[in-house]
């Protein structure tokens, strides 16, 4: 089980966009500060088997993957 922090999200998402999509592997957990970030920016969290460590941005809802 992986735990993602706000700092990790911010380091990968240079400029947050309201409603962006973040993809994580199943079983990922979030720190309280990461949850605050997700709520503040109305982030859509998706859990996908193939979520990788690279980030790619496609406006207006850039998909971002973490491993």
For 12-62, write each residue's pLDDT tens digit.
888 999 999 999 999 999 999 999 999 999 999 998 887 655 433 334 455
* Residue corresponding to tokens 């966009």: 17
Instruction: Name every residue whose Cβ is closer than 8 Å to that of residue 26 and which is 6 or more positions away in sequence.
Output: 47, 48, 49
- Alpha-helical (H) ranges within the chain are 6-12, 32-40
Neighbours of 56 (CB within 10 A): 9
Decide if pLDDT at 64 tops 90.
no
This model's pTM is above 0.75? no
Query: What are the domain boundaries of the chain?
Result: 3-58
Beta bridge partners of 63: 21
């Amino acid at each position: 089980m992986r735990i993602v922090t706000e700092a990790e999200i911010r380091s990968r998402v240079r400029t947050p966009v309201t409603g962006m999509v973040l993809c994580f592997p199943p079983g990922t957990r979030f720190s309280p500060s990461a949850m605050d970030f997700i709520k503040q920016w109305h982030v859509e969290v998706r859990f996908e088997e193939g979520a990788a460590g690279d980030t790619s941005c496609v406006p207006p809802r850039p998909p971002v993957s973490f491993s």
